[in-house]
Amino acid sequence: MTTPNLPQSTHDAPLRLRTLGNSGLFVSELCLGTMTFGGGDDMWGLIGQLQQEQADELMKTALEAGINFIDTANVYGGGASERIVGQSLKNLDVRREDVLLATKVLGPMGEGPNARGASRGHIMSECKASLRRLQTDYIDLYQIHGFDPATPIEETLEALNTLVHHGHVRYVGLSNWAAWQVMKAVGITRARRLCPILSLQAYYTLVGRDLEREVIPMLESENIGLMVWSPLAGGYLSGKYEGPEASEENRRAKFDFPPVNRERGSAVIAVMREIATGKKVDGQPVSVAQIALAWLLHQNAVTSVIVGAKRVDQLRDNLLAAQIRFSADELAALDEVSRLPTEYPGWMLERQGEYRAHMKAWYAALPGVTGRGRLFYLKAVRLRLFSHLDPTTTHFRRHILQFRKAIPDSQHSLLIVNMHAGLIRELRNDPSVDIRQPHGRVLGEQVTATGFAPFTAAYRCLVVGADVV
């Protein structure tokens, strides 16, 4: 079977493309997952047992829809998934440069302690085996499928670096690692000048937002891409397992994974149903499953969402999720019902960092300072000086004059104001204080004027500037 009409450029693809991490590699926002390919009488068979012809139909549908990203793993079906993916690309006559292949290594692929893990030996041998099964001479994204506590991270990263230098692998990523483990790997690659960590594949859904505590902030800080597996929480977010039409004959009855808090999940699905009601995409009513996928595509940290299917119609429904847009109110409703309960140190970081975040935003609004006359704002941090005073009263101005007299430098006048934006607005409206729109930069770090040091030591004040008449 050949498919001469597969998209050959991004202009033909309806799906959006995103760069994967800090790279120039463009991947489709939806990625075809192939865990349903080649399963037998084992755990993988509970997920899917699709054979070559069925897999070819799914691959064809995905590629024609604009997906250019295929994810598999050496353990899926004991290697059968990789073999089917490789043969499917041959059957469909797909040019190798038109598709990005991602696979993974870690799980057991034979007997004995060295036929598993993230050791150099296992990585090197399994990469070659994956290349043979995929019928290709390079893998676009080679991922460590999980953390191996028995192997030093340095050994794992050195092995991946070797594969990149040999040309067998283009980019490397991780999967199911904790934030501290990823960050340690990033530090090692930088210190040893190894190939960088490009992506993390992880579980993230409306009923599983644990990633937001530590992992997602780290990914955003380090510009590492996020690939989401099991975006429907093992089928739970299809809505089939909650409500009056719930059925006990489903995959979760045999393989209840990933774990879901059913009590919280029921409330989440109720809101999802409400939002789906009345929405249409491509002329069809929107499903709960499509809401789940669309929510992920609205999250800034997410690069690509891995969607799998057993049937072509399932895959087509999943693809339509990329066309769904939420209003601000709908996103707020989904966030409210699914939000994680606060934990330490999260609530303390938010509390202590709040005023610094306000300062950063305030400074960002001041591009540059020019002009002969300068009025300096001394922005008091934390204690919000003069918050008890009315800025329109003589009493307030008397306090200002007292502090201005304390500054020996007669070339500059210094005004202390509350950090609250409302107070600055009031000063701008005061005819006795003509403050033009600030267009300046930060003029100094801390106030060092003689006679004012005790004040700055007590209140940690910063100085910024703006033009005045």
With 0-12 CB in 10 A as exposed, 13-18 as middle and 19+ as buried, what is 234?
A: buried
How many Å apart are CA 337 and CA 206, to the nearest integer? Answer: 9
Catalytic residue among 76, 203, 241, 377: 76
Tell me the torsion sign for CA atoms 100, 104, 109, 113: positive
C-alpha closest to that of 2 among 101, 97, 99, 89? 89
Is 76 a residue of the active site?
yes
Q: Are 236 and 207 in contact (CB under 8 A)?
A: yes
Residue 330: CB atoms within 10 A of its CB come to 20
Helix (H, G, I), strand (E, B) or coil at 365: coil
The structure tokens listed for 299 are 């999250």
Q: Are 202 and 176 in contact (CB under 8 A)?
A: yes
DSSP-derived secondary structure for 68-134: -EEE--TTGGGGHHHHHHHHHHHHTT--GGG-EEEEEE-S--SSSTTSSSS-HHHHHHHHHHHHHHH
Give the separation between CA 301 and CA 276, rounded to whole angstroms.
Answer: 24
CA proximity to 47, closest of 34, 36, 61: 36
Q: What CA–CA distance (Å, rounded) separates 226 from 208?
A: 15
Do 452 and 407 contact (CB within 8 A), yes or no? yes
φ, ψ for residue 399, nearest 5 deg:
-60, -40
Q: Which residues pair with 102 in a beta bridge?
A: 71, 141
Round to whole Å and give the CA distance between 295 and 265. 15
DSSP letter, residue 50 = B
For residue 37, what are the β-bridge partners?
A: 50
**Burial class, 285, CB count within 10 angstroms (exposed 0-12 / middle 13-18 / buried 19+):** exposed
Residue type, 88: S
Token pair recorded at residue 230:
């099991």
The set of residues, in sequence order, having a beta carbon less than 8 Å from that of 349 and lying 6+ positions away, is none
Residue type at 123 in one-letter notation: I
- Which residues are catalytic, by number? 76
